């Protein structure tokens, strides 16, 4: 393919797709592009063949400016992806293909300019328009805030003069095809089909590590950093609780150490605080560290109660508040950590603790068996009552899990019999 101009263009397109999209999504976009151009279905490659082509081309642009260009085109205020809702992802391949066709038509002078309206997939269209085809590109969010607008000499680009105008928002713009302008709406794939595994729809972007948190999580992380005392108190309290369990302090209330194992120095106490500061440059400020140190210097019971208090306060700094409980199915695992992972920096916290922390809170062979574990009631009545309520919640969740497993077992048995 490298011996022809068309082959080089295809390599460049596949490399760009591989840099931004995951798994099967590039193949689906190429397949949709084949259909958009009306090529013969008889000679159309399969999705597996398209995937192989993309795989061969992947990594070609890893050291190029393209990843940085794509990052600049992204609207970081779009919701973060989560299992419950829609996030920075999920556009229909056919819509992306139509928008790409519009960009290609500008290069062949079939269109003078195009407008693309939609979700986060707009960033890919904008990136290849600017970097690969050198087209003047104007990017704005749904409120009209400019995200990217280069200048030609001393003349700034605006939506009217740009060859490619990208606007984030709902894909409700009607198709307007005429001699000078075409608009494309990139819709939500969930409106068309449902997929068992939606990881293939997730967009990705390379970011510098020293800005990873703010670039990946955008406004959510920036809001958190405006409350350093609360954030530092939460992280310091987590460090104190894990320290108590790691070194075997006795006064840890009703926490049962039988389920806690495999500590490392970087996962508790001052080791955790050092890890936070050293691993993430954005969390290395002296002010934040001082708040963490102050919180870690308290007693276990104070730190344990402070975690929930800090999370309740931090929810007001988040654009997507979520309910938080200290007890979940399977025992005490400080569900607050999960909230912190979602809200702040899942990359780092999950690296040290994992998604479920039950098995991380014990020192193997150091403490007696679960039935002989030392238990001391909380001194603060409000914490004691809260703990009882959470234990009731735990038993309720365990009952739900057991009933679900029983139903699934009956269902599998019926299927086997049939």
Transcribe 51-107 into DSSP letters: HHHHHHHTTTTTTSSHHHHHHHHS-TTSPPPBTTB--SB-B-HHHHHHHHHHHHHHH
Q: What is the crossing angle of helices 212-225 and 228-247, to 10°?
A: 110
Length of the chain: 418
What separation in angstroms does the CA of 317 have from each of 143, 216, 342?
21, 17, 14
Q: Are the beta carbons of 331 and 278 closer than 8 angstroms?
A: no
Residue carrying the six token digits 């989560």: 82
> How far, in whole angstroms, is CA 307 from its chain's centroid?
23
Single out the residue of 63, 66, 65, 49 nearest to residue 13, CA to CA. Answer: 66
Tell me, what's the pLDDT at 195?
A: 46
Q: β-strands 113-118, 164-168: how paired? A: parallel
Predicted TM-score of the model (pTM): 0.48
In sequence order, what are the residues at sequence separation of 6 or more whose Cβ sits closer than 8 angstroms to the Cβ of residue 205? 20, 67, 70, 71, 74, 123, 215
Tell me, what's the pLDDT at 333?
A: 37
Residue 326 has a CB neighbour count (10 Å cut-off) of 22
Tell me, what's the pLDDT at 398?
A: 78
Tell me, what's the pLDDT at 29?
A: 92
Tell me, what's the pLDDT at 289?
A: 92
- Return the structure tokens found at 274: 């050092």
Domain extents in the chain: 5-206, 216-401
| Run means of pLDDT, 10 residues per run, the chain, 418 residues | 81 90 86 92 91 89 86 67 42 85 88 84 89 90 85 72 82 34 51 46 66 76 84 89 81 64 74 86 91 91 85 64 37 38 38 34 34 37 55 74 81 74
Q: What are the two backbone dihedrals, phi and then psi, of residue 57, each rounded to the nearest 5 degrees?
A: -90, -10
Tell me, what's the pLDDT at 292?
A: 92
The dihedral through the CA atoms of 102, 103, 109, 114 has a sign that is positive
CA gap 285, 292 in Å, rounded: 11
Residue 112 has a CB neighbour count (10 Å cut-off) of 13
Q: Residue 374, SS3?
A: coil
């Amino acid at each position: 393919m490298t011996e022809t101009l068309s082959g080089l263009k295809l390599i460049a397109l596949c490399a760009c797709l591989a840099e931004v999209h995951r798994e099967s999504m590039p193949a689906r976009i190429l397949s949709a592009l084949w259909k958009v151009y009306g090529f013969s279905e008889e000679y159309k490659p399969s999705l597996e063949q398209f995937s192989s082509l993309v795989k061969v081309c992947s990594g070609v642009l890893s050291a190029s400016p393209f990843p940085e260009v794509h990052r600049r085109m992204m609207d970081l205020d779009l919701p973060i992806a989560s299992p419950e809702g829609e996030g920075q992802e999920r556009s229909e391949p056919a819509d992306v293909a139509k928008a790409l066709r519009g960009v290609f038509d500008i290069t062949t002078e079939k269109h003078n300019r195009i407008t693309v309206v939609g979700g986060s997939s707009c960033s890919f269209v904008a990136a290849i328009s600017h970097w690969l085809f050198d087209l003047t590109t104007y990017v704005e969010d749904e409120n009209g805030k400019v995200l990217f607008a280069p200048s030609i000499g001393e003349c700034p680009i605006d939506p009217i003069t740009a060859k490619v105008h990208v606007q984030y928002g709902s894909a409700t713009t009607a198709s307007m095809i005429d001699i000078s302008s075409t608009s494309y709406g990139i819709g939500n794939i969930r409106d068309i089909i449902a997929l068992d595994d939606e990881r293939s729809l997730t967009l990705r972007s390379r970011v510098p590590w020293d800005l990873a948190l703010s670039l990946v999580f955008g406004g959510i992380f920036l809001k958190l950093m405006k409350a350093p005392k609360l954030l530092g108190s939460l992280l310091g309290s987590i460090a104190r609780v894990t320290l108590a369990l790691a070194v075997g302090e006795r006064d840890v209330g009703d926490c049962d150490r039988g389920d806690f194992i495999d500590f490392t120095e970087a996962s508790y106490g001052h080791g955790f605080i050092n890890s936070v500061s050293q691993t993430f440059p954005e969390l290395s400020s002296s002010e934040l560290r001082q708040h963490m140190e102050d919180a870690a210097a308290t007693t276990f019971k104070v730190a344990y109660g402070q975690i929930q208090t800090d999370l309740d306060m931090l929810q007001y700094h988040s654009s997507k508040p979520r309910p938080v409980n200290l007890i979940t199915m399977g025992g005490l695992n400080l569900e607050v950590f999960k909230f912190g992972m979602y809200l702040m920096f899942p990359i780092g916290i999950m690296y040290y603790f994992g998604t479920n922390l039950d098995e991380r809170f014990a020192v193997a062979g150091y403490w007696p068996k679960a039935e002989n574990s030392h238990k001391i009631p909380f001194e603060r009545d409000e914490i004691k009552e809260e703990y009882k309520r959470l234990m009731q919640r735990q038993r309720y969740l365990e009952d739900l899990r057991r009933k679900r497993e029983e139903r699934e077992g009956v269902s599998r048995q019926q299927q086997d019999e049939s």
